[in-house]
Structure 1
């Protein structure tokens, strides 16, 4: 009896006749469809299941992709749209039916492997003194190691020029210049999941810690520029459908601003302890005591760190062992 009931339930889905798409959410990973089954109205909600963890399955995926379309490449970073081959499609329409977004880092380093490995997470407190004595020197060492060359390649137009969707004339005004390009995690087609990066030309600002009261007019000007440029490129989006934030700690130490659609579901990269709203930074600077040189380096910041990150291993874990921090 139970088996018969199960068979009847399973037989319903193939009988679904699609009428229209109601909505997509979770950055396009869930789709709500309306249609009919046996002439009765039906809702069908499709949601991508987690990838199977079977080594046989995971090992076979790259070789069995039906189509692969490169979206861009810079240094060791490459990203693609691909079709898993579940529906046979002509190559001319493959980009319309891609069901996988792929990022490739090749050749990768041990640092990349650590970053993407499962690891414990710590919540740390970075006081102005810890920033000055430990984190600032750490950031400087990262920059001096040449790890920003790929970003400078983009800014100077040497790489990913075809991916830049908006830019001010390079070098015309280095303090005001910027460009916009898609974040490598965006599929470039799901508007509700829009995620852009705003890279500024100026190189004197490494992170939000370098922002000062004197930068308030510049920050407001940049916010307006980013919103105007985004809505110009994507006219279906209005300015109040966008939010702007920066990361701390950022992945790389050249000031950049994330511009995302408000409907993009907030994952770890938008969580408290990672993302700081641009308006919140401006508001904090406005009420800060002191002259124009007063800035975010005088603020205590709390955020999360992976236990495999260099900043935890080299800075905060030793500080914790010696009792020199409240993390």
Structure 2
């Protein structure tokens, strides 16, 4: 109850500053605000979001990991003072305290398609990844991997043949309501820390990737037995990812394909395996040796510090 009260108090203390973004179907909005003088981002999702319901948000279930918190909530008024009498119709994600990078990520902005050559990756993107990892932004992932937070949510923890290299765990994604199978979205975090993104994948990783793929399919079908089948699942990784620790998304193929699943953001796991098999060279040849095209928001650091100057012919 103390945790519940503390979680609810954060939502009630959230002071809205401005709307960052709203999707075209009005199912998801991102709001910038502050709690106790520290900026935060509140993301709310529902089937048909009513903006006049902001005053009656009330959380009754929550999870907390570092700066990331999520809630299930009601947007309707209580019945005789009892919020528990009606099912939750909102999923709230709170990032607090948030960083300038979070604000850029969730703000509405024009996007650009860029092509990252092996040279650009080596000279500019890899050092950028190193910098972000050293800033401590992976603490929430390590909290989960090392058993400090969200352990009740872990659906599968597989140590594999070699815990240092093959282990992984699977849990519900922050954006899934955990009950609607048609919008199933699971997140897979690998134990190994030498793979930051798909750029680190090499031909020698093909057996591991195939093992990982099959274990994820088997575990998902078993966990939701009778509700989903193998050919109703798809798996992908993001590039550029939000955080530089290799992870895989497992979703229902019926999940509405928003920007996170769009071409230029999501790379299918099966396609990555196939591309690695087709790459010429020895076992050390891999995804760092090919050019990749993807989109970036104009507010992103990579656009403003790397690709825009390159486009203008400026020296970085």
Asked if these proteins are the same fold (TM beyond 0.5), I'd say yes
The alpha-carbon distance between structure 1 residues 81 and 177, as it changes in their structure 2 partners (threshold 3 A), is same
- Residue in 2 that maps onto 1:119: 109
**Residue 278 of structure 2 corresponds to residue 287 of structure 1:** yes
Which residue of structure 2 lines up, in the alignment, with residue 153 of structure 1? 143
Aligned length: 271
Deviation readout 1:12-62 (Å, 9 max, x if unpaired): xxxxxxxxxxxxxxx9x7xxxxxxxxxxxxxxxxx954544xxxx4xx71x
- Give the number of the structure whose alpha-carbon radius of gyration is greater: 1
**Equivalent position of 1:13 in the other structure:** none
> Structure 1 residue 265: deviation in Å?
1.1
Which residue of structure 2 aligns with residue 74 of structure 1?
A: 65
> Secondary structure, in 3 states, of the residue corresponding to 2:112?
strand
Does the 8 Å CA contact 1:214/1:293 hold for their aligned counterparts? yes
Which residue is equivalent to 2:293?
302
Moved more, 308-317 or 194-203: 308-317
- The residue that corresponds to 1:238 in the other structure is 229
- CA-atom RMSD, angstroms? 2.3
The verdict on how the C-alpha distance between 1:323 and 1:111 changes in structure 2, with shifts beyond 3 A counting, is closer
Of 111, 123, 128, which aligns to 1:138? 128
* Equivalent-residue separation in structure 1 for 2:76 and 2:253 (angstroms): 32
Distance 1:296 1:324 in 2: 26
Q: What is the CA distance between 1:88 and its match in structure 2?
A: 2.9
1:205 aligns with 2:198: no
For 1:1-327, list aligned pairs within 5 A: 48-49=47-48, 51-52=50-51, 57=52, 61=54, 63-65=55-57, 67-85=58-76, 88=79, 90-94=82-86, 97-169=87-159, 173-235=163-225, 236-322=227-313
Do the aligned partners of 2:234 and 2:250 also contact (CA within 8 Å) in 1? yes
Shift of the 92–83 alpha-carbon distance from structure 1 to 2, 3 Å rule, reads closer
Report the TM-score when normalising by structure 2. 0.80
Taking structure 1 as reference, are residues 156 and 172 closer, same or farther at Cα in structure 2, changes over 3 Å only? farther
